[in-house]
Amino acid sequence: MSKIRGIVHQKKVGHSGTLDPNVDGVLPICLGHGTKIVDYLMASGKIYRGAITLGFATTTEDLDGEIVAENHDFTPLTTSQIETGFKNFVGETIQIPPMFSAIKVKGRRLYDYARNGEKVERPKRTIKIDYFKQLGESIIDEATQTQTIFFEVKCGKGTYVRTLAVDFGKQFNIPAVMSQLTRTESGGFDLNQTVTFSQLEAASKHGELEKLIYPIDYALKAYPRIELSKSQWELVQHGGFIDTREVNTTEAKIVLGYNEKIRALYYKDVENNRYKPFKMFNLD
């Protein structure tokens, strides 16, 4: 974050979920007023493509950790078994996050406990998997006596794909590890819309940062947009309410715009037949 702050010359910078050191892909960054919509970017879910290798497990659940379990005397899984194993995760399921993660327990990060060799009970969490499918044929390596399975998964926020890989192996009593992972979509953005640090630096140097920055509208495109009149805008600037009869929608949340800019996100107060402020942007 500090590197991006230096490049874009903004103090207020936020992100919609981190990437592990050995994971690449899409990471939406929010600037200024945009930091107010981080939750909406995260709520849209993420898509990953990666690989699960069967035959060994590690402390970190990926290739960065030390091997803690091995079994190279297993019968390789068939395509049918793999597909069934993936389908068992679809929907809402309970996941226990890995020890090497940034989740806090009793004021400390789990990875702090792990690095000190301490044990602590990890909080269970409900995650949502929209789909989990195999991509192509798996590879059986006779030399290493492992099987590598390629997949794509769409999941909700808070999902550890590393742990999905490990739990997939547990279904068949085979140690497993996530051996490769790329986040292909996040917050409505895909790989084709990403830029590197060097591209960002070049754009900043030539005064072309605006070409790489998406408006707040992009993150709120799922909500109906209402264009305000001058009198309504004056009301909204001071946190005023909008009568439900003034808008042509019954949605629970609406985006308010004025002078070609997103100004606010309002929610419906059903009991009083009005829309009230939820998030405010660009009030100048």
- Enzyme catalytic residues: 20
Q: Mean pLDDT throughout 179-195? A: 93
Q: Are 49 and 182 part of one and the same domain?
A: yes
On whether both 138 and 66 belong to a single domain, the answer is yes
If asked whether residues 65 and 115 sit together in one domain, one would say: yes
Residues 36 and 57 placed together within one structural domain of the fold: no
| pLDDT, tens digit, 9 for 90 and up, residues 237-253 | 999 999 999 988 889 99
- Residue 272 and residue 198 share a domain: no
Range of 246's domain? 223-284
Q: Are residues 106 and 176 in the same domain?
A: yes
Amino acid at 25: G
pTM reported for the whole predicted model: 0.86
Beta strand spans in the chain (E): 13-15, 24-25, 29-31, 46-54, 56-58, 67-70, 91-95, 104-105, 108-109, 125-134, 139-141, 146-155, 176-186, 189-190, 225-227, 242-243, 253-258, 261-269, 274-280
Q: How many structural domains are present in the chain?
A: 3
Q: Residue 37 — very low, low, confident or very high, per pLDDT cuts 50/70/90?
A: confident
**Domain's final residue, options 168, 199, 222:** 222
Question: Are residues 11 and 132 located together in one domain of the fold?
Answer: no
CATH number at residue 151: 3.30.2350.10
Token pair of 51, please?
A: 């690989």
Residue with tokens 């917050």: 187
Same domain, 117 and 236: no
